[in-house]
Amino acid sequence: GQPVCECNDCYGGNDCSEFFHGCSADADSGDPVFFEPFWMQHATDSVVVTSGWHRMSYKYYKYVDSTTMSIELESYIRKLHSIAGNAITEGRYMVFGVGSTQLLSAAVYALSSENSSSPSNVLASIPFYPIYKDQTVLFNSENFQFEGDTNSWQSNNGTNNMDVVEFVTSPNNPDGELKKSVLGGKTIYDHAYLWPHFTPITGPSDHDLMLFTLSKLTGHGGTRFGWAIIKDKDIYEKFLNYIELADMGISKDTQLRVLKLLKVVVEGDGKPLFEFAYNKMRDRWDRLTTVFSKSTRFSIQQRHPLHCNFFNETRLPSPAYAWVKCEREDDDDCSAVLEAGKIIGRRGSRFSDKDRYTRLSLIKSQDDFELLLQRLTELVSLENGSI
Sites of contact with ligand PMP (CB under 6 A): 30, 99-101, 129, 169, 173, 190, 192, 213, 215, 221, 226
Nearer to ligand PMP, 31 or 232 (CB): 31
Q: Report DSSP letters for 262-322, one per residue.
A: HHHHTGGGGHHHHHHHHHHHHHHHHHHHHHHHT-SSEE------EEETTTTEEE----SEE
Nearer to ligand PMP, 342 or 351 (CB): 351
Q: How many CB atoms lie within 10 A of CB 292?
A: 16
The residue (of 150 and 215) whose beta carbon lies closer to ligand PMP is 215
Q: Closest CB to ligand PMP among 321 and 342?
A: 321
Work out how close the CB of 213 gets to ligand PMP at its nearest, in angstroms, rounded to a whole number: 3
Distance CA 235, CA 111 (A): 7
Q: Distance between CA 271 and CA 277 in Å, rounded?
A: 10
CB of 227 to ligand PMP, least distance (A): 9
Cα–Cα distance for residue pair 133/111, rounded to 1 Å: 16
Q: How far is the CB of 169 from ligand PMP (least distance, A)?
A: 5
- Which residue is nearest to ligand PMP, using beta carbons? 99
CB contact at 8 A, 188 and 203: no
Q: How far is the CB of 29 from ligand PMP (least distance, A)?
A: 9
Q: How far is the CB of 362 from ligand PMP (least distance, A)?
A: 13
Cβ at position 168, least distance to ligand PMP in Å = 10
Least distance CB 104 / ligand PMP (angstroms): 6
- Those residues with Cβ within 8 angstroms of residue 375's Cβ, 6 or more apart along the chain or in another chain: 24, 25, 341, 342, 343
Q: For the chain, how many residues are written?
A: 387
Angle, helices 252-265 vs 68-84, to 10°: value is 40
Compute φ and ψ for 262, nearest 5 degrees. -70, -30
CB of residue 339 to ligand PMP, shortest distance in Å: 22
Cβ nearer to ligand PMP, comparing 211 with 240: 211
CA neighbours closer than 13 Å in the CB half-sphere of residue 279:
8
CB of 216 to ligand PMP, least distance (A): 7
Q: Which of 84, 66, 63, 73 is nearest to 223 (CA)?
A: 73
**What are the backbone dihedrals phi and psi of residue 349, each rounded to the nearest 5 degrees, phi first?**
-65, -20
> Is the separation of the CB atoms in 167 and 132 below 8 Å?
yes
Give dist(CA 198, CA 191) in Å, integer: 11
Complex with ligand PMP: residue 149 or 333, whichever CB lies closer = 149
Least gap, CB of 293 to ligand PMP (angstroms): 27
Q: Which is nearer to ligand PMP, 173 or 255 (CB)?
A: 173
8 Å CB contact between 97 and 322: no
Give CA separation, 11 vs 24, 258, 268, 372, in Å: 11, 32, 38, 15
Nearest by Cα to 340 from 371, 367, 378, 373: 378
Of the two residues 24 and 170, which places its CB atom closer to ligand PMP in the complex?
A: 170
Residue 173 or 335: which CB sits closer to ligand PMP? 173
- Cβ nearer to ligand PMP, comparing 96 with 236: 96
